[in-house]
Structure 1
Amino acid sequence: MPTSSRNSGKAARTLGSAGIACALGAGTLLGLSGTASAAVPTEQTMDSAPSSVDEGTTVTFRGTLSGLGDRPLSGEDVTLQWRGGQGQPWQEGGSDTTNDKGVAAIQADVDRTAQWRISYPGDRLNDPAASKPVTVKAEQSIGERLVETAAAQAGESYSYGASGPDSFDCSGLTQYVHKQHGIDLPRTSGDQRAALPEIAKDDKRPGDLIFFADGGSVYHVGIYAGGNTMWAAPEPGDVVREQEIWTDAYTVGRAW
Structure 2
Amino acid sequence: MREPLIPVVPMSHTAHIRSHRKPRRSASKLAMRAGVAGGVLSTLAVAGASGAANAAEPVTQTVELPTLTADLSAQVAQSADATEQTAADYQLRAERDAAAEKAAEEAKQDLAVAKKKAEAKKKAEAEAKRQAAADRASRSSDRTTLSASADVSAPASGSVATVISFLKAQVGDAYVMGGTGPNSWDCSGLVQAAFRQAGVDLPRVSGAQSTAGTQVSLSNVQVGDILYWGSAGSAYHVGVYIGNGQYLDAANPSKGVVIQDLSGYPATGAVRVL
Q: TM-score range by the shorter chain?
A: 0.3 to 0.5
Greater Cα radius of gyration, structure 1 or 2? 2
TM-score of the superposed pair, with normalisation by structure 2: 0.41
The one of the two structures with greater contact order (alpha-carbon pairs below 8 A, sep at least 6) is 1
Q: Which has the higher helix share?
A: 2
